Chains A and B, each alone.
Chain A
């Protein structure tokens, strides 16, 4: 690992200021991804600013503003605490499930909510510094585009990058229309709708998100919703646990009290794109329809018709199709098949 200075920030202002003056300085929170990438020589910060002592861990109801009635989750709270908080379990079980689907007990005890969103891709070409990778070394090329790309994207990729985004938590947050609250380097507050937080690779795959250098995630706001009775996070992976998703689906439904008609549907997919992939085509098709397996299938077909698989991941198209149907079915039945 390359040498770096280590300091602890006393408050958010000191933290953002510490990064503002140094383009190669980074925040250190849980460290579960950053420290690993530093060992691999993928990340090379010259300064780490430890922000774990900042009081930004609270989970509390939102009493004013656009998300009134929702829940605010501190950016520096631990994943374990968020997944097990009574208000999250009761009102946002989809988020609890998605967090618990990721990593291991040990890692969820370390990882923070803000840091989870900033995980970098697990593309093997990104990790292996002897390989070309436009995300790690812009302009060097993409090793995966014509390499081994079984794990890679089927939506929204570019010639520059076919990597997928790894977080489970973020897939649920995308489905729940969360809002990321940020403190800028100059001390301003800004809110980023979840759909605008992560980016597609385009010509600048080195940029994972729309956060500017030195911006600090203070909280993640969850708007109030009516999905708690009917939501499900389905994760498909190469082994039963402790593995990144080959593909995942966060599904949430609101069904009319009389009859079986879909009032609202949310579907977000993981493991298919450079960012959490909202299945907007499928969602639109489901509104006003009856919640039946046949309608779920029609919506899944429409969504997956736009997929552009690579040489080794054609299986993800059929897998995505079936996973959407199953996740919707599980959501409809309150988590049971």
Chain B
């Protein structure tokens, strides 16, 4: 979080705090608006005290609130705190975590990376799948403390930043081919499992490239280098990612298209 963001109060904003919360002004100018200040302000707003200065107040409320939990604390500030340095989506991050904190909660609650989803929180659904040191893992069963020195990639880190088509919004980022394929093939309905599905699929293709076997591989003794995956193979290898909407045929088609490099036709089957 950018601490400096909060120091740039406008003159109007300074006056607002001076009027309403004079005892906190020095602290606010020093370290920015924190959660306590914000709550206090909300209480005042609830009492109608702010009504006269509503335009200024509105501006303030739309500012990001930060400073509630700085990334680095002394380990002793948290019971069983663990100091942690890891690389997330290309950026070095340092933070102090409760020893109980999972990688998933750390990504979502501390690093503002809410793409990875908490589905079951028990390793049964795959919605929290991220890549750690290039391997797909379940972030809900990974303690953040155990990620010291590791490289984590989440759905937010898959798109290439910079030039290219701007399907990913205003950032000008180019989506990962797997993201493009999921869009093309409608590989989701509600989208909750999608970040996990895509991270899992990206890793799956690496596993196939290095020749990994699966339970449906006909003969594990035959090692032939990169594996060409059948639909059955993709389904087996993606079985750790559940989709309650049932977008499986489209997910498999998307993965098959990126894997084979050839367009895959959608096939629909209807009962007679």
- Please name all residues of chain B whose beta carbon is closer than 8 Å to the beta carbon of A80 when the two chains form the complex: 135, 212
Total count of chain B residues near the partner, CB < 8 A: 43
One of B21-29, B140-148, B156-164, B261-269 at the interface: B140-148
On whether A335 and B219 interact (CB within 8 A), knowing A4-B99, A32-B141, A107-B123, the answer reads: yes
Contacting pair A6 B122 (CB below 8 A)? no
Interface range on chain A (Cβ under 8 Å from partner):
35 or more
Contacting pair A32 B138 (CB below 8 A)? yes
Distance of A103 Cα from B235 Cα, bound (Å):
14
Which residues in window 197-214 of B have CB below 8 A to A? 200, 203-204, 207, 211-214
Q: How far is the CB of A115 from chain B (nearest CB, A)?
A: 12
On whether A35 and B240 interact (CB within 8 A), knowing A5-B80, A83-B213, A93-B220, the answer reads: no
- Please name all residues of chain A whose beta carbon is closer than 8 Å to the beta carbon of B148 when the two chains form the complex: 8
Distance of A107 Cα from B135 Cα, bound (Å):
10
Contact with B along A79-106 (1 / 0, CB 8 A): 0100110100110010011001101111
On whether A105 and B203 interact (CB within 8 A), knowing A80-B212, A100-B213, the answer reads: yes
- Please name all residues of chain B whose beta carbon is closer than 8 Å to the beta carbon of A171 when the two chains form the complex: none
Contacting pair B99 A106 (CB below 8 A)? no
On whether A96 and B138 interact (CB within 8 A), knowing A6-B99, A105-B200, the answer reads: no
Q: Which of A39, A40, A93, A110 contacts B138 (CB 8 A)?
A: A110
Distance of A36 Cα from B122 Cα, bound (Å):
6
Q: How far is the CB of B211 from chain A (nearest CB, A)?
A: 8
Which residues in window 1-51 of A have CB below 8 A to B? 1, 3-6, 8, 28, 31-32, 35-36, 39-40, 48, 50
Q: Which of B100, B136, B211 contacts A109 (CB 8 A)?
A: B136
A256 interface hit (Cβ, 8 Å): no
Q: Which of B82, B137, B215 contacts A100 (CB 8 A)?
A: B215
B residues with a Cβ closer than 8 A to A are 79-80, 82, 99-100, 102, 121-123, 126, 129, 135-138, 141-143, 145-146, 148, 200, 203-204, 207, 211-215, 217-221, 223, 235-241
Given A107-B141, A242-B240, 10 more pairs with CB closer than 8 A = A6-B80, A35-B143, A36-B141, A83-B212, A84-B212, A101-B215, A105-B136, A105-B203, A106-B136, A240-B239
A residues with a Cβ closer than 8 A to B are 1, 3-6, 8, 28, 31-32, 35-36, 39-40, 48, 50, 52, 80, 83-84, 86, 89-90, 93, 96-97, 100-101, 103-107, 109-110, 228, 235, 240-242, 334-335
